[in-house]
Amino acid sequence: MLILFRGLIEVPTFTAQFNAHTGKFAAASSRTPGHLSEYERMKRMSEFYFDVNKWEEDIATQHEEESNSGKKRKRPTKKDLVSAFDKFESDCRNDFFFRNDLRSRND
């Protein structure tokens, strides 16, 4: 880009951005996340808070162990689901009555 000052002097001007992660100069538009996919943006933001790479490695090793052992994970049956729901419901009911009992004692 050339800028002319009163027709006498041509002064070249350049704009560039330095990418500290790669150590290279990048185009001005490369600093905006618009060129990244939604998955890549989510991954970059998640890596700030979580160790995503370690989690992905753990999942990969877990899948390898499952495939090498030859056993499939046991899916819960309807009986298992019903008993778990009943246990949860009774725990909630007991907790509710316990809290109401404490309230009535304090009054």
The pLDDT tens digits for 23-50 are 887 776 666 666 678 888 888 888 888 8
CA–CA separation, 15 and 27 (whole Å): 8
The pLDDT tens digits for 9-21 are 666 676 777 777 7
C-alpha distance from residue 59 to each of 53, 54, 63, 98, 104 (Å): 10, 9, 6, 41, 49
Task: Please count the other Cβ atoms lying within 10 Å of the Cβ belonging to residue 102.
Answer: 9
Q: What is the pLDDT of residue 59?
A: 92
Q: Looking at the domain assignment, is residue 107 inside a domain?
A: no
Task: Look at 32 and 1; give whichever has higher pLDDT.
Answer: 32
CA–CA separation, 69 and 45 (whole Å): 35
Q: What is the pLDDT of residue 102?
A: 54
Whole-model pTM above 0.85?
no
Per-residue three-class SS string for 31-89: HCHHHCCHHHHHHHHHHHHCCHHHHHHHHHHHHHHHHHHCCCCCCCCHHHHHHHHHHHH
Question: Could you list the residue range(s) of the whole structural domain that residue 20 is in?
Answer: 2-101
Q: Looking at the domain assignment, is residue 84 inside a domain?
A: yes
Q: Looking at the domain assignment, is residue 16 inside a domain?
A: yes
Q: How many domains does the chain have?
A: 1
Phi-psi region at 14: left, alpha or beta (left = phi > 0; alpha = psi -120 to 50): beta
Backbone angles phi, psi at 74, to 5 degrees: -75, 125
- Residue 7 reports pLDDT greater than 80: no
Q: Looking at the domain assignment, is residue 106 inside a domain?
A: no
The pLDDT tens digits for 44-81 are 888 888 888 899 899 999 888 888 877 777 888 999 99
